[in-house]
Amino acid sequence: SLKTESKTSELLTCNWDRRNENFLKEYKELLASEDKMLKLDSHAETLCQLKDFQKELVSSAEDKFPENYYSLLAKMCQDKPTPLTKLSKEIYKAIIPEEVETPLSLLTIAEAIVVVCERKCWGVKRSKVVQNEDASSDSRWRWEASTLEFLPQDQRVLLKNYRKDRRHKLKRINAYGKFFALMKKDNRDDSKLSIAAEKIVKFNREHISKCLKRRSREGITSNQIAKKAKKEQREKQKKEREAKLAQKKAETEKRKFEAQKKKEDMRRKKEEAKRKKDEVERKKMEKQKKIEATLRKQSSSFASFFKITQKKKQDVEEVQMTVGRFHKWETPPNTTMAPVLPHKTTLTMEEMEKEIRKGGASVKLSFKPAKRKYNKISRSKLLQYHEDVRPPWWGKHPLVKCEQVSGRRPFGRSSELDYDNDSEAEWEAEPNDGEELRSDDEDQDEEEISEKK
């Protein structure tokens, strides 16, 4: 047995004390290393939701966190290492302004955080600790959203990769812990220690390969990022040029529009001035026409006193006949001739003259009296109505026969008369301030009477 112990002590792989020191250094470095975390506090979606929440917070009157804003809590708690109490205070200050009075309490926010998120241990697990309030650094506590649906779409793939790295680190931490537990035993088992050490080496090897792959990917992605940046720069320059051209075009269109508007305003002003001028002239013309109309009415009313009625001249048919040695008969003034033939005959005037010259010719005449058309003169009548403005009418008028109006049809209407014409509307009352016209004899009589008095 002494020989086997001396042999194993000489082996490098079984130098457990030395290896324990190396593993302990690696273990401390592993616990002190920082994980990659999502910083969703400044994400655009988070800020937009926060503004909407603060607007609704003013009108809310219940001590209950709205369910439609659970995703806001998940984004603000993701990857935070702080305990629940401290985290609740930080979120309360972040989402509720100081000047706003709200019934929402700190306990309500803490309960909502526990519903939305879960606190996971990615390091050394300890028993008999409060999971949500433990603050030990080697436990590597992280708040994780209960579902990826609460997080933005563009951050879900990154979170999955970060969780893979954390699981791999947790495996390494557990492997170191198992090795340290075997080293603390009084009876060390080299086979178990070697298996535990081999696991540590395996995980370290995988970690190194992942780091190399990540670096290669980062190199590729860095080239892609550079190309993408150049492309974005070119697009940005193109957009700037297009924006400048659009601005110039807008300015030219604006100038054209302003010039057109100015022309339109000038034209409108000219039309308005012309319209006003025409209106003034029209009013002057109307005023002049009214004055002329009043003057005509006054002159016509004045001239109506001196109107001379002319009698119609009667048409007289003069028959010029020369018989033998007799001179031509001329009618004296103010006389009319009777009809030549009061009776009808079948002979013409020439035939009658021939028969008379023959001397013994018998002229056959028909003694049927000719029908004369005359108008019956009715008796004098007085036409006066109490609603009339004009003075009454007294006189005679001929009786005109009308087929439309008769004794059986007293309400018929004659086609020769205009029943719609109101002759009374055309009547103009005599002016009261008119001058009374008298003869010279009347004026002399009045003067003699006044002298006698």
How are beta strands 117-121 and 141-145 bridged, if at all? antiparallel
pLDDT in tens, the chain (453 residues): 333 444 444 455 667 888 888 888 888 888 888 888 888 888 888 889 888 888 888 887 788 888 888 888 888 898 889 999 999 899 888 888 888 788 888 898 889 999 999 999 888 888 888 888 888 888 888 999 888 888 888 888 888 888 888 888 888 888 888 888 888 888 888 888 888 888 888 888 888 888 887 777 666 566 677 788 888 888 988 989 999 999 999 999 999 999 999 999 999 999 999 999 999 999 999 988 888 888 887 777 666 655 555 544 444 444 444 445 556 667 777 677 665 555 555 667 777 777 777 764 444 444 445 555 545 555 778 877 777 777 787 877 666 677 788 888 888 888 877 778 777 777 776 666 655 555 566 666 666 666 655
Secondary structure (H, E, C), the chain: CHHHHHHHHHCCCCCHHHHHHHHHHHHHHHHHCCCCCCCCCCCHHHHHHHHHHHHHHHHCCCCCCCHHHHHHHHHHHCCCCCCHHHHHHHHHHHHCCCCCCCCCCHHHHHHHHHHHEEEEECCCCCCCCCCCCCCCHHHCEEEEECCHHHCCHHHHHHHHHHHHHHHHHHHHHHHHHHHHHHHCCCCCCHHHHHHHHHHHHHHHHHHHHHHHHHHHHHHHHHHHHHHHHHHHHHHHHHHHHHHHHHHHHHHHHHHHHHHHHHHHHHHHHHHHHHHHHHHHHHHHHHHHHHHHHHHHHHHHHHHHHHCCCCCCCCCCCCCCCCCCCCCCCCCCCCCCCCCCCCECCCCCHHHHHHHHHHCCCCCCCCCCECCCCCCCECCCEEECCCCCCCCCEEECCECCCCCCCCCCCCCCCCCCCCCCCCHHHHCCCCCCCCCCCCCHHHHHHHHHHHHHC
The first and second tokens of residue 357, run together, are 């010259």
Q: 0.85 cut: is pTM over it?
A: no
Structure-block tokens of residue 10: 């000489």
What Rg value do the Cα atoms of the chain yield, rounded? 67
Distance CA 277, CA 439 (A): 52
Residue in the structure block whose two tokens are 């005023």: 287
Distance CA(197)–CA(16), nearest Å, equals 9
Question: Token digits for 317?
Answer: 């048919």
